Amino acid sequence: QEAALQGRFQERVDAEEKIEPRDWMPEGYRRTLVRQISQHAHSEIVGMLPEGNWITRAPTLRRKVALLAKVQDEGGHGLYLYSAAETLGVSRDELVGQLLSGKAKYSSIFNYPTPTWADIGAIGWLVDGAAIMNQVPLCRCSYGPYARAMVRICREESFHQRQGYELMLALAQGTAEQKRMAQDALNRWWWPSLMMFGPSDDQSAHSAQNMAWKIKRFSNDELRQRFVDATVPQAEFLGLTIPDPELRFNAETGHYEFGAIDWTEFNEILKGNGPCNRERIEARRKAWDDGAWVREAAVAHAAKRKQRAMK
């Protein structure tokens, strides 16, 4: 019977039908979605930290408003995504517990520091640019709640990317010192942004199955290549140099060829040894502990309301 259910499930996926929370699904499909959606949610929440660091130091009121809105959007994305994961039968407490204990992963990119204002531009341009490249196809993911959450998230990410690029443009067209800051930020964020797409296809444990289940629509390397092809001309327009001496356009394939990624750096970050891993988790633990009274008050308030309604 299990085999028949599996077969019917795959037929539905192949026919581009959306799988909904109450539908039968293989245990592996459920597990992989919980893993990916929760990792994605954690990334949004931890991703608030490197930029949140600059809200009080934004150079103008206009920049501050944009950054504040962006960081709030990221908090919202995290919440939608936790809700999408909850439809698969896990609780939010369980998921947050996995982040705080170090069991669950979040994107490698958020373990790098943001020492200058230009980092805010580079994050919007490159990190959100890479995020969009990876997430637009997720709007067509086979799991309905995840696919639907991604539609709004991608619209907001697109605004984030534009504000970052416009910030970089202002710096690149500014004083020599501002242009130098922009170049320095590009130098530090370029390679980590390429790593965001995950290991190369021959090392990617989950890709083949996730593509068969139509969770993933394109492989890690395909999306990475698309990102490079889209971003190199943007760097040229800014008058900045991509920090890769091997980067060159191949007129025959129509793609940019790029140098080797330092996978040792990526693997160290995944093991918790990146420049900011400890700081990020500590900040999340502190936020969780400091917020305990809010959770307790919300529960007490809900209990009171329920009691009042019963009277």
Provide the token pair at 144.
Answer: 């309905």
d(CA 50, CA 71): 10
Per CB under 6 A, 148 contacts ligand ACO: no
Closer residue to ligand ACO, CB minimum distance, 183 or 207? 207
Q: Which of 70, 100, 86 is nearest to 38 (CA)?
A: 86
Per CB under 6 A, 204 contacts ligand ACO: yes
Per CB under 6 A, 198 contacts ligand ACO: yes
Span interacting with ligand ACO, options 48-56, 59-67, 195-203, 283-291, rule CB under 6 A: 195-203
Taking the complex as a whole, the smallest distance from the CB of residue 126 to ligand ACO amounts, in Å, to: 11
Three-state SS sequence of 280-298? HHHHHHHHHHHCHHHHHHH
Taking the complex as a whole, the smallest distance from the CB of residue 31 to ligand ACO amounts, in Å, to: 10
Q: Give ∠ CA 56-62-63 in degrees, rounded to 5.
A: 55
Per CB under 6 A, 142 contacts ligand ACO: no
Per CB under 6 A, 205 contacts ligand ACO: yes
Per CB under 6 A, 193 contacts ligand ACO: no
Per CB under 6 A, 3 contacts ligand ACO: no
Q: Which of 102, 1, 94 is nearest to 46 (CA)?
A: 102
d(CA 306, CA 304): 5
Per CB under 6 A, 129 contacts ligand ACO: no
DSSP states of 200-217 as a string?
Answer: -GGG-SSHHHHHHTTS-S
Which of 64, 92, 179, 206 binds ligand ACO (CB under 6 A)? It is 206
Q: Which of 251, 295, 29 is nearest to 143 (CA)?
A: 29
Which residues pair with residue 257 across a beta bridge? Answer: 248
Taking the complex as a whole, the smallest distance from the CB of residue 206 to ligand ACO amounts, in Å, to: 3
Per CB under 6 A, 199 contacts ligand ACO: yes
Which of 12, 18, 35, 179 binds ligand ACO (CB under 6 A)? It is 35
Angle at which helices 27-46 and 92-100 pack, to 10 degrees? 60
Per CB under 6 A, 277 contacts ligand ACO: no
Taking the complex as a whole, the smallest distance from the CB of residue 74 to ligand ACO amounts, in Å, to: 7
d(CA 83, CA 70): 20
| The residue type at 144 | G
Closer residue to ligand ACO, CB minimum distance, 19 or 183? 19
Span 76-105, contacts to ligand ACO by CB under 6 A: 105
The residue ranges that bind ligand ACO (CB under 6 A) are: 35-36, 39-40, 43-44, 47, 105, 107-108, 131, 134-135, 195-199, 204-207, 210, 216, 220, 270
